[in-house]
Amino acid sequence: MTTGKTAQKKQVWTRHIVLFFLIIAGCVSYMDRTALAIVNTDIAREFGLSYTSLGLVLSSFATIYMVCQIPAGLAADRIKARPLLTGCLVVWGLAQLLTAWASNAGTLVGARCLLALGEAPLFLVGTKIITVWYNSAERAVPIGLFNASSSLGQVLAPALLGLIADQFGWRSMFCTLGGLCILLGLMWGIFYQKSPTPEHEPVAKPKQTARQELTFLLAQRVSWVLAIGCASIIYLQWLYSAWLPTYFQTVRHLNAAQAGWLSSIPQLAGFLGSLSGGVIIKFLGKTSYTPSRACYQLLIIGLLIAGMATAIVPLCPTTLLSLVCMAIALFATGIAMTGSWTLGTIVVAEESIATMEAIQNVGGSLGGTLSLLLTGFIIQHTGSFTLAMEAGSIITFFCISIYMIERSRFIN
């Protein structure tokens, strides 16, 4: 009996360590993604890039990330977590080192594409790992924490990376990130040995081929709804993460250091929103709400608030008021993201979770790509962030309407 309790206690500690590592990896991944936005003014000046060209460089990551999602999801459902995540971390570390050595826009695009290739499986295999270590009743909070790591990375990036870039130059910043990623990859490869053994062996099921699994999921209408909804969430996240420092410098006339620190405040709100989403879903699960209904309701409310707050941002007369609205928007977006991501683990069988999340991420990546390209185009041709913000709000409301039309597929 004592041995059994000791083993159970060890497993509890192990899963918490695994979750902590996933949070660190998620945090670093978003620091990597947003690093270019922090120094994009310096890079644009050095390489002679226009806003439109800068938007193309920034969007190269989202485009390749989107293309890699389905293969990454199928891989995460079939390849063991240890070698897959180790390889991912090493690849995106090398991508950051390549960025540090970039000599022109073409090299930057190549490095961003390699970064997207390395990061594509992270949140898919991470979610898969969480579903193995945590049962469906315990899953919302760990997924909320894992999702929150993306916002935490964007909170830390402007301050930490901005300081490194200011003191040692933007190339040193990317070298630091590259070395950190490779170190994390080696640590994961050494630490993570095997997944927990289930108490009861599951009933054997015939294994679907990758093509059969993908064909089945794409035939489900719910997959397309989740992908479209995720597009609006990621659109807003990238609108703020990629363009916020530039907004503060050009519209509010702040210097780079001030813009960096202020940009971290809305991202902190997004981090808290993701955490809150997991806690609220867990609370609603103890009431009459079914898990899918709890996720759906939170998702809709979060998107509504985010869309309205984003529409108000450019109308604010002061920097403080605009900052408050941005914080509200990203807090609500964080709540919606946790609802969306957890919902994706509920509507499919466990062996297809990573592939379903990949389908969601394809939609999200499309939204991210559209956000970067459309925002850059609007700013380049109008010189105004107002239309860019309003466009994000309109796209969000459109995606909400899709969810509302398909409401019966999520509430049972």
**315 within some domain:** yes
Provide the domain count of the chain: 1
What is the pLDDT at residue 9?
A: 66
> From CA 332, how far away is CA 336, in angstroms rounded?
6
pLDDT score recorded for residue 63: 80
Residue 2 lies in a domain: no
Please report the pLDDT score of residue 202 as a whole number: 40
The answer to the question of residue 204 being in a domain is no
Which CATH number characterizes residue 86's domain? 1.20.1250.20
pLDDT at site 287: 83
- Quick one: pLDDT at residue 4? 56
Hey, is 134 helix, strand or coil?
A: coil
Residue 200 has a pLDDT of 41
pLDDT one-digit tens code per residue, 155-193: 788 778 888 888 898 999 999 999 999 999 999 988 887
Ramachandran bin of 240, using left for φ above 0, alpha for ψ from -120 to 50, beta for the remaining angles: alpha
pLDDT confidence of residue 347:
82
**pLDDT at res. 265:** 87
The answer to whether position 201 is within a domain reads: no
Domain containing 155 equals 12-194+209-409
Residue 36 lies in a domain: yes
Structure-token pair, residue 324: 């408050």
Is 371 among the domain residues?
Answer: yes
Is there a domain that residue 226 lies in? yes
Indicate whether 202 belongs to any domain.
no
The answer to whether the CB of 359 falls within 8 A of the CB of 263 is no
The pTM (predicted TM-score) of the whole model is: 0.75
8 Å CB contact between 232 and 364: no
User: What is the block-wise mean pLDDT of the chain (412 residues), using blocks of 10 residues?
Assistant: 59 85 91 82 84 78 84 86 92 93 88 92 89 79 85 79 87 93 92 63 54 85 90 89 82 79 84 88 84 89 95 92 94 92 82 84 85 86 88 93 85 66
- Which tens digits make up the pLDDT trace of 315-324? 999 999 999 9
